[in-house]
Every structure is written in structure tokens, then in C-alpha cells.
Amino acid sequence: MRTSPDAGTGPVINDGGIALLDGSFTDFPLRVSPEPSLASSIARRVELVSAGLEPRRVLRHRFGRGRQKLSVRSFTRVQQQQSVLAEIKVEAPLDVVLEPKTPPDRASFSYELGPVKLSTRGDDSIRPPTQGALAEGVKIAGRGILNGRGIVTEHRFEPPLDETDSGALFARSLISAMLELPEEPVGKGARWDVVLEADSSGVRLTQRNSYEILELRGASARVRIKQNESVAVDGGAALPDLAMAPTEGEWTVRLGQAFPTGRQAVEEPLLSGAAAALNVSTELSIELRAAK
């Protein structure tokens, strides 16, 4: 849900691994769930929409000891009509170590993100606050537990970070790229939704991640993800101005590895009106890093 910059809503990854992000406007395309302490109730469910084509199989991670060497890139552009007012590019290596646990459908993972390389162009005054606050050369490290369905059940930063720290927000956005797999056997074309509903002071937030398998080959699945959010008050009246803009992307999940590769993008207006219309677009990507 969209909040003011000083609302104090520190984001957190919940036990279900739902991926949503609060911010003054778009910070990153992958979202982090709202802080549970701010909601009077939070409910989560997984809905299988279609099992897809035969043959079908259960998709599960079985982890071994291993490493991932990845490259992360986030690119944001603010435009007024056809004029580019500001651009922000964040790039960083991401190194991940996996250690299997018993049973082998669980693993501990540790990671180091950085050093961050930051480049900007244009008007600093309208830069997205989270990306704009990232410092050149910063490193973020952490560890957690990942289960066979791709759900992060534990996570912590090492050393600890303030949950509203720009580096913490950036790292959590990446962790939320870990895709949640369905319980049931699925094939190409399968679709499922992960839905989170939170209530706070008479306001209901519904966040929906929709997944579709575009290709299923061996231990890899290429998946389209759409993220949508709606906000309503008691009685059902919608509050569209408080909902974050929808996002869409494609990711490749490799069973037995923590992070998928791919990209997610979002575009939304900052100001409306024919003369003053501003739009911001952001694309986040995670790719395999070539060995040196």
C-alpha cells in the first residue's frame, strides 16, 4: 500500500514469503509485505487456477551444497511526456552460498550484495527516495532458511540493519524474487495465485501475486509473474489512490538454487494533468554473472 515517506512502515518478509513493498512511490518492482505489527489481522492463501498441460509434476527444491554468482541491476527513469527528467541505475554483484539441511528440501542460504555501483542523471530532487539514498560502495549481507516450495521462512541481516535502511529495502526486494511453488502437480501453462489480505483500522489491503508457467524443461521453469494490489475500507469502498501500481515480469526458476534470474518492471504516474504529468518506470533484473 502506498504510504507517506515518514509513515514508519518498516517492511518485512512474512512466513509465507509474500513479496510487496511500501514506499512514497515506486522504489522497486518486487514488493515486500507490510509490517505485521501494523495490521490487526493478516491472512494468506495459495489458489491453484489451472494445473496446466500434461505431463504434470510436483515442483520442489532439493538442495545440495552450492553457490550462485549473480549480477543485480535496477534502472529507474522519471519522465514528463517525452522528456527524461531523472535516471538512476543501481548495479551490484550478488554472491550466494547454499547449505542443505535435513530433510534436503530445506537449506540455509547466506549472501553478500555489493559493493553497490550507483549512477544518476538529471534532477536529484525527484529521485525515488530508496534508490536515491543507496550509497556508492555499500555492501549488504544476510542469511536465512529456504524451504522446498521456495518460501523464505527465516531471514536476518548480518550485521543487523534498520528495516527502513535503503540497503535493507533493496536486499529484501531481491529476496522477494524467490518464487513460491504450488503444492499440486503442474505442467506448462499452469497458473496459481498467492494472496495476502491485511486489515488495519478498518482498511483492507489485498495483494495478489499471479504466476504462470511459460516453459517447463528439466529442473528449470520459466514463469510470468503479475503483482496487483487493492485497498478498500469497511463497507467495500475502494481506495485506488492508495494502491501500488501493478508489476509484471518473467523469471527462470532453477530447482535447487535460491535466486531465480529474470526481470520485473513497473510504471506509474507521479503527477497527473496534461501539463504536469510525471511518470516513473523501474526495472529490476537478476542475471547469472560470467566467471572471471
What is the three-state SS of 187-212? CCCCEEEEEEEEEECCEEEEEEEEEE
Range of the domain at 213: 36-288
What's the number of CA atoms in the CB half-sphere (13 Å) around residue 220?
8
pLDDT of residue 276: 58
Phi-psi region of 149 (alpha: psi -120 to 50; beta: other; left: phi over 0): alpha
Q: What is the DSSP letter of 181?
A: P
Nearest 10 degrees: Cα torsion 118, 74, 230, 215: -170
Q: How many domains, the chain?
A: 1
* Cell output for 256: 535447487
- Considering the domain boundaries, does residue 260 fall inside one? yes
Task: Of 155, 157, 201, 200, give the one whose Cα is nearest residue 176.
Answer: 155
**Is 10 a member of any domain?**
no
Domain assignment present for residue 1? The answer is no
ω into residue 159 within 30 of 0, thus cis? Answer: yes
**Domain annotation covers residue 73:** yes
Type of residue found at 143: R
CB 242, CB 231: distance < 8 Å: yes
* Residues with Cβ within 8 Å of residue 288, at least 6 apart in sequence: 69, 70, 71, 261
Whole-structure pTM value: 0.81
CA angle in degrees (0–180, nearest 5) for 203-207-213: 170
Please state, in angstroms and rounded to a whole number, the distance separating the CA atoms of residues 209 and 192. Answer: 8
pLDDT value, residue 192: 98
**What confidence score (pLDDT) does residue 134 get?**
72
Classify residue 142: in a domain, yes or no: yes
Residue 28 included in any domain: no
Residue 198 lies in a domain: yes
Predicted confidence at residue 292, as pLDDT, reads 61
Domain assignment present for 55:
yes
Amino acid letter, residue 260: P
DSSP annotation of 175:
H
- Mind listing the pLDDT tens digit of every residue in the chain (292 residues)? 544 333 333 322 233 332 222 333 334 555 555 444 444 567 888 999 999 999 999 999 999 999 999 999 999 998 887 888 889 999 999 999 999 998 778 999 999 999 999 998 887 666 554 444 578 899 999 999 999 999 999 999 999 998 778 888 889 889 988 999 999 999 999 999 999 888 877 888 888 999 999 999 999 999 999 999 888 887 778 877 777 788 999 999 999 999 999 999 988 876 655 555 788 899 999 999 976 6
Closest CA to 76 of 136, 6, 130: 130
The C-alpha cell at 190 is 499452469
Residue 126 DSSP label: G
